[in-house]
Amino acid sequence: MAKLRTRKHKVVLSRSVGGDTGITILLTLLGIFMVLPMVYVISQSLKPLDELWMYPPRFLVKNPTPNNFRDLFRLMNDSWVPFSRYIFNTVLNAVGGTFGHLFLASMAAYALAKIKFPGSKLIFETIRTSLMFHSTVTAITSFMIMAAFKMIDTYWAIIIPAWGSTLGLYLMKQFMDTHVHDSVLESARLDGASELRTYWTIAMPMVKPAWLTLIVYSFQGLWNAGSSIYIYSEQYKSFNYAIGQITAGGIKRAGASAAATVLMMLVPIMVFVITQSNIIETMGSSGMKD
């Protein structure tokens, strides 16, 4: 019989010291690989000009300064389309796309998970299969469809397709399958509540982690969206695209572009820190059965 020993009051299997050390070393090496480029971006964004062009280059900043961020804001003020416009575009797309997706996808997920009707299996299978391919495959024909609806070069070209994205619906449906019990819904229906009411007042409050996850995923996708083939007017382009233009400015903007990257990454990272436990809980039911 294997030896049992306790670790933090939980009974776990015997763990060899060699294995523990090996795993710790491997994990540390991988962690360093992951974190070094991030440290380098932050360090670059704080370097004064002479340190950015020092030879040999230093990895870490010696005399940190906020000048790059100041430069970035000056560059933003000088741009042809005001930067506030790019920020407005990104926020509008992210908020509009995310909330539309939240309502449409959660409503559909509820019906697919909790109402038995002819065709529900087929529809869910189709949606699930579409998780398997990347959206670039459909970019050109999507363009034609948007052109037919006169959506090209408007906010709708970004917002409406986001409403129909698949991962959010998939996670929501799986979570409802495991966390919303039929008996609770049954008693609400017996009390005469309509399906729409049951969905909104009973099921939705029970799946808070799932809709937080859906919001985070959708928001991240839209926040990080760069240039799009559906948008060509400068005044509809995204913040991320504009940041890319600063980065493309080459050598003299190295500091400002690092500062911009840091600003851009702060938002999704903070959102994830706040919602992490909810996302992990949602992922608990993300599994696929066959």
Partner 1 sequence: MAQKTAKAKAVARKDMSYVQWILKEMRRNWVAYAMIAPYVIIFALFTIVPVVLSVVISFTDFNMLQWPNFVWLENYITLFFADDTFLLACKNTLIFAAIVGPVSYLLSFLVAWFINELSPKIRAIVTLIFYAPSISGQVYMIWGTLFSADSYGWVNATLMELGMINEPETWFRDADWVMPLCIVVALWTSLGTSFLSFIAGLQGVNRDMYEAGAVDGIKNRWQELWYITLPSMGPQLMFGAIMAITGAFGFGAVVNALAGFPSVDYAAHTIMHHLEDYGSQRYEVGYSSAIATVLFLIMIGANMIVKKLISKVGS
Stretch that binds partner 1, among 4-12, 63-71, 81-89, 184-192 (CB under 8 A): 4-12
Q: Does 142 bind partner 1 (CB under 8 A)?
A: yes
Q: How far apart are CA 162 and CA 223, in angstroms?
A: 12
- Map the footprint of partner 1 across residues 26-55, applying CB under 8 A: 26-27, 30-31, 33-35, 37-38, 40-41, 44, 53, 55
Q: How far apart are CA 109 and CA 115, in angstroms?
A: 10
Using the rule CB under 8 A, which residue among 75, 76, 112, 242 binds partner 1?
112
Site size for partner 1 (CB under 8 A): 107
Helix ranges (H only) for the chain are 17-46, 49-52, 67-78, 83-114, 120-129, 139-148, 156-163, 166-179, 182-190, 195-197, 204-206, 208-223, 239-247, 254-283
142: helix, coil or strand?
helix
Q: Does 9 bind partner 1 (CB under 8 A)?
A: no
Can you spell out the DSSP letters for 223-239?
A: HT----TT--SGGG--H
Q: Does 235 bind partner 1 (CB under 8 A)?
A: no
Stretch that binds partner 1, among 64-72, 73-81, 160-168, 182-190 (CB under 8 A): 160-168
In the complex, least distance from residue 201 CB atom to partner 1, rounded to whole angstroms:
15
Q: Does 220 bind partner 1 (CB under 8 A)?
A: yes
Q: Does 190 bind partner 1 (CB under 8 A)?
A: no
Which residues, 6+ apart, have CB-to-CB distance to 212 below 8 Å? 275, 278, 279, 282
- Map the footprint of partner 1 across residues 55-94, applying CB under 8 A: 55-57, 59
Q: Does 172 bind partner 1 (CB under 8 A)?
A: no
Using the rule CB under 8 A, which residue among 50, 63, 122, 133 binds partner 1?
133
In the complex, least distance from residue 110 CB atom to partner 1, rounded to whole angstroms:
7
Q: Does 250 bind partner 1 (CB under 8 A)?
A: no
- Of 161, 168, 130, the C-alpha closest to 231 is 161
